[in-house]
Amino acid sequence: MSDQRVTIDISKGVADVRLSRPDKMNALDPAMFAGIESVIARLRTETGVRAVVLSGEGRAFCAGLDMASMAAGGTGAPLIERTHDLANLYQHVAWGWRTLPVPVIAAVHGIAFGGGLQIMSGADIRIAAPGTRLSVMEVKWGIVPDMAGFALWRGNVRDDMLRELTYTAREFDAAEGVSHGFVTRLADDPHAEAMALAHAIANRNPHAIRAAKRLANAMPDGDAATLLAAESHEQRALMRTPNQIEAVRANMEQRAPVFAD
């Protein structure tokens, strides 16, 4: 399936999602915002999807806002109104990946500036090619990161480094991004690495993976009592279910498991 700016191919439980505006390094214009919004909505309810890989076509992951198209009127979406649960549209195209029930892996290369950096930050795991150029770029244009960056970077990126990079808008490479927490790890072929990881995740109990993501999402805001209780409730819901029993049997019989979604 494809729309104006985003393609999606689903095979063997993995959704391969690609930003597809390569002539503009996948810069964010109104059609790109709409395309990402549409794909997130589809993935929220798509049956059989167990993991998502998010990447960009061409020379870059995403160069950030297409300033010319946004200056001409943008999407017309409101900033203050919460149109997508906790978020507005601009935040949703980054935050929405975190709210999907299944893990999302970003495969990043070339450039991830501004909004592109925030979109990749919505992924659970971020694999980048060496030399990928990154920047919290908004202050360069006299604005602040407002596509869910601060909510997504909390707990991943060291506070003082985030402040420095935000205040200066300086570029840094993927290796530095690993040290600060923007990037999970490096790979020469991030898309191939992300797809291999996604398929490995897709071969685990999908209900356990979804439960683990719910627990991970609760970590930044939950106190110890809340998290301890959540662990127990998730575990009780998983124990002795058909998929949990299949996981045990497959391991004991040294065979590939067959899980139901």
SS3 173: strand
| Under 8 Å between Cβ of 122 and 99 | no
Cβ(259)–Cβ(222) under 8 Å? no
Give the separation between CA 164 and CA 176, rounded to whole angstroms.
Answer: 13
Q: Encode pLDDT of 62-80 as tens digits.
A: 999 998 877 766 788 999 9
What residues contact residue 57 under an 8 Å CB cut-off, 6+ apart? 7, 18, 19, 20, 21, 22, 26
The domains located in the chain, with CATH, are 6-201 (3.90.226.10), 205-253 (1.10.12.10)
Other CB atoms within a 10 A radius of the CB of residue 147 amount to: 29
- What is the distance, to the nearest Å, from the Cα of residue 208 to the centroid of all Cα atoms in its chain? 19
User: How many Å apart are CA 170 and CA 165, to the nearest integer?
Assistant: 6
Distance of CA 36 to the CA centre of its chain: 12
Q: Residue 58: left if φ>0, alpha if ψ -120 to 50, beta else—which one?
A: left
> Tens digit of pLDDT per residue, the chain (261 long)?
444 799 999 999 999 999 999 999 999 999 999 999 999 999 999 999 999 999 999 999 999 999 887 776 678 899 999 999 999 999 999 999 999 999 999 999 999 999 999 999 999 999 999 999 999 999 999 999 999 999 999 999 999 999 999 999 999 999 999 999 999 999 999 999 999 999 999 999 999 999 999 999 999 999 999 999 999 999 999 999 999 999 999 999 999 999 999
Cβ-based burial of 242 (10 A; exposed 0-12, middle 13-18, buried ≥19): exposed
Nearest to 156 by CA among 220, 90, 62, 64: 220
> pLDDT digits over 141-183, tens only?
999 999 999 999 999 999 999 999 999 999 999 999 999 999 9
- Residue 135, pLDDT score: 98
Nearest CA among 32, 4, 34, 2 for reference residue 17: 2
Q: What does the alpha-carbon distance between residue 16 and residue 210 come to, in Å, rounded to a whole number?
A: 18
Q: What is the pTM of this model?
A: 0.96
